[in-house]
Structure 1
Amino acid sequence: MRLPRRALPALAASALATPILAPRAEEAVLRAGGTGMALAAMRRVAALYAALHPGHSVELLPSLGTGGGIRALLARAIDLGLLARPLLPEEAARGLSARPYARTPIAIVTGGGTNSAAITLDRFAAILRGDVTTWPEGNRLRLVRREASDSDWQLLAGLSPEMARSVAIALRRPGLVTVGTDQENAEALQAMAGSIGVMSIGQLRAEALRLRPLALEGVAPTLDAVEAGRYPLSRTLHIAWAADPVPAVAPFLDFLAGDAARETLLNLGYGPPAP
């Protein structure tokens, strides 16, 4: 079903304003879970899907992380996994399938304590190492650290050998606040004065977080800059399913690839995946 573009925002708002009722016995309810950066946006997509497809709905679990989503999918505890990376060969060999559905910039963000609107890679590397501990105004700078397995920190490390060294040092530094999930990351960044960390623009916008993204090397973290190759950090999100999925999986995958879902995602800072 194709809708006029001008009709989508109003329909999405109407869907989100509708109270969530307990599903009737005949409803097809999909369970989905995985990376926290996708949850808030996927809730918007799921609300629109339910509004356009009576009798079908998607239940989103709290953040499991990409690895947790894959484990839940293999255990058949969920029907759809939300991943911040492609499947590994060994995961595909166990019967999982996946495809990309969106891409969002990854930004260096702050919760305040500075008037700075931009940062350089050299300065952020120095912050990771602990060589820089204050903002230009003199306020204390507080780094929020992710775990070594975090996809965004691995993305940072891949920028250059110097950044990889700085990330490795940051992971060994004592006394830093360390968070596990994307939602814990958001909470820590918002709660700490002078905070700095890494987050997707999609999560920031979908969750209406009180955080400010910084331009990197003079380039703002926008979808246009990512698509033009001017901004180096972005994450492609994938949706995964197990072999012999329940019948309701296919209609939702078709919807996720359609105009209505893509318009909703685009408004939240998630563009289409790279060709």
Structure 2
Amino acid sequence: MPDRSARQRIAAPLARRQGGVVSRAQLEALGITRSEIKVELAAGRWHARGRHAVAVHEVTRDGLFAAALMEVRGDVRLDGVSALIYRGLTGWDEDLIHVSVRHGTHAPPVAGTSIHRVRDLEPCAIGVGLATSHPTYAAIRAAVWARSDRAAMTILAIAVQQEVVAADALLERWRRWKRRIPRRALIDQVIRDVCAGAQSLGELDFARLCRERGLPEPDRQVVTKGPKGRIFLDVRWSTLGVVVEIDGAHHASGLMPVDDALRQNQVVLGGDVVLRIPVLGLRLEPDGFMNQVAQALTTAAERLAS
């Protein structure tokens, strides 16, 4: 029978790979008996994280994910926003841990864990570490399970921006997604916005919002001259000197912010007013942004009249 220090030494490597948590079955497979596990728990050196999970070290976020999988057991994997966070998504906090099991599977409730029963559960994503759904499935399900439309849109946008999920793979997965799901229309809009054709789609939506408000419809894809050649503007009211730039998700990546700033500054120096609207802003806060557009047009018209 290994002594206390030997038990810790045996369990430590696996615990480090799993965020400080090891299942009782794993400990027994390592040669640590049930009675020895009880000794460590009774001494307060190890701590039970449920019926099956044991904290051997300080538990990290990944350890919480691992413990949830150990408690649900069987063919289970991290899914939704939990899978995205495990794969590197930052800037998002979620109290619940989301896991998926096959539809019809009996799984006992686990504190702090939302268990989703999924039809046609796909194989786990290939890789080292905890079992997770493929990022494309996880991103779509994260949007479905989100607390609000705003949360659904934000998760999809940052997952693509941070390259946790590849834009082309997500768009292709969504095109082949046949099942009826909540928020389908919204998810369709957002995925197309952040993955493909975001700029042109945003311009069409913007023109529709202008018509609905009774605002004059602007020219689209206007070309003007700058010191280094042609400048392409999304929409412009030329007679009023008002420009609106519709920014898709790609405007936040690479050197795009630098190029955008140079172009905007040049247009402003030429005398135009420039408003910027993230394409997702047309989904989240259409009234707020369109109020600003209306105000800019009114101010410009009054300036011309005077």
> TM-score, normalised to structure 1's length?
0.28
Structure of greater Rg: 2
> TM-score, normalised to structure 2's length?
0.26
Higher-RCO chain (CA-CA 8 Å, sequence separation at least 6): 1
Structure in which a larger fraction of residues adopt strand: 1
Structure in which a larger fraction of residues adopt helix: 2
